[in-house]
Amino acid sequence: MTEHYQHRARKRFGQNFLHDAGVIDRILRAIRAKPEDRLLEIGPGQGALTQGLLNSGAQLDVVELDKDLIPILNQQFAGKDNFNLHQGDALKFDFNSLNAAPNSLRVVGNLPYNISTPLIFHLLNNAGIIRDMHFMLQKEVVERLAAGPGGGDWGRLSIMVQYHCRVEHLFNVGPGAFNPPPKVDSAIVRLVPHAVLPHPAKDHKLLERVVREAFNQRRKTLRNTLKLLLSNDEIEAAGVDGSLRPEQLDLAAFVRLADKLSEQVLQKPADI
């Protein structure tokens, strides 16, 4: 890299550039890209993972927001036939513009904390074209993604992501692997969209609404947090104990509550 293209990490983009060769190799081995794969890297930064992904022979599209990084990435990779660069915001990116076949797109990213949750939800809206996702995230976010019912990490993020995907917390990464070092630990997570949803809801939007309402006041019982949506009798009719707190319910129970609410919506559209 020439001196002209040295780049300082931008606080407003939440940039922490990965530089530890051992960690980079471990991530690449977890992904195991093959020549026939269709890859999308979100936020390639200075290209720490990009080179290894390209070396697999796979077709690689990258989305980078920071205009100052574009010349650095182009200088390194523009000559490669399997490299395609998009400058823009991944939160607004139209993944269908890649014309990827169903269940084919493999998404990779070292995601800034401030966009990680909305970006994962944006990707889940396109789950039909995605085969898997490998992300570097703040460790506490990965713990929430992979959590099970009964603990403090179980919440809206866990439930809505696990509705769509199998979640694997692969390994943790310390601050020293980055420049500048973040103040928190990071972790690698693998998300694999379910071929068949294990607990399909009649109305996905109502599931989101029930989960959001339930966890808005997670210390309260369900009969209190959901009282504007469902009566205690309706909660009980869904096979759920209204005296439980939301973190005590599994995904299947939330789907039953949402399906009960969808019945109410059909019966009394003006009230919901």
Cβ contacts of residue 201 below 8 Å, gap of 6+?
163, 207, 255, 258, 259, 262
Q: What is the reported pLDDT for 2? A: 35
pLDDT band at 180 (very low <50, low <70, confident <90, very high): confident
- Does position 270 have pLDDT exceeding 60, yes or no? no
Q: What is the reported pLDDT for 268? A: 63
- All structural domains of the chain: 3-193 (3.40.50.150), 204-271 (1.10.8.100)
pTM, 2 dp: 0.90
Q: For residues 87 and 61, what is the distance between their CA atoms, to the nearest angstrom? A: 11
Which 3 state secondary structure label does DSSP give 111?
Answer: coil
Q: For residues 143 and 157, what is the distance between their CA atoms, to the nearest angstrom? A: 10
- Does position 165 have pLDDT exceeding 70, yes or no? yes
pLDDT band at 5 (very low <50, low <70, confident <90, very high): very low
Mean predicted confidence (pLDDT) in 52-58: 97
Q: What is the pLDDT of residues 246-259, one digit of tens each?
A: 999 999 999 999 99
- Does position 151 have pLDDT exceeding 80, yes or no? yes
- Does position 231 have pLDDT exceeding 60, yes or no? yes
Mean predicted confidence (pLDDT) in 16-42: 94
Closest residue by Cα to residue 150 from 137, 141, 159: 159
Contact 129, 93 (CB under 8 A): no
Q: What share of the chain is helix, strand, coil (3-state, %, to 5)?
A: 45, 20, 35
pLDDT band at 128 (very low <50, low <70, confident <90, very high): very high
More confidently predicted of 169 and 45: 169
Averaged confidence pLDDT in the chain:
91
Q: What is the reported pLDDT for 21? A: 92
More confidently predicted of 232 and 17: 232
Position 151: which residue type? G
- Does position 6 have pLDDT exceeding 70, yes or no? no
- Does position 11 have pLDDT exceeding 50, yes or no? no
